[in-house]
Amino acid sequence: MSDPICPLCLRPIPDYAPQSLHHLIPKLKGGKGGPTILLHHICHREIHATLSEAELARHYTTPEALRMHPRLAAFIKWVAKRPPEFASKIPGRRRKK
């Protein structure tokens, strides 16, 4: 069986790679029990460092929409050059309040 593919960066997610589930509609915005996607943990952290819960709920409810965000697109281009198990410390929130 092949590894699942991260819907954000489109790289494989090996069993041993840090990974997490992302709610396409944030739980705080009514997404509890809603659809989730499996992501590399680094990809998941970047989503939440970039976008607020309100922005996610309003405009970024699909992997395709997330990939279109300019900062996430730049992140995807950067992370694509790393191995699938790559993990990095991501600073705390970087988005503007």
Task: Tell me the C-alpha distance between 44 and 49, whole Å.
Answer: 9
* CA distance to 35, 51, 65, 96, per residue, from 21 (Å): 10, 16, 17, 24
Residue 74 burial (CB count, 10 A): 11
CB neighbour list of residue 34: distance below 8 Å, 6 or more residues apart: 23, 24, 25
- Report whether pLDDT(97) > 90: no
Break the chain into its structural domains and give their ranges.
19-79
Q: What local confidence, expressed as pLDDT, does residue 94 receive?
A: 54
What values do phi and psi take at 53, rounded to 5?
Answer: -60, -40
40-93 residue pLDDT tens: 999 999 999 999 999 999 999 999 999 999 999 999 999 999 998 888 765 555
Q: What local confidence, expressed as pLDDT, does residue 28 receive?
A: 86
- Which SS3 state, helix, strand or coil, does residue 37 take? strand
Q: What local confidence, expressed as pLDDT, does residue 81 receive?
A: 93
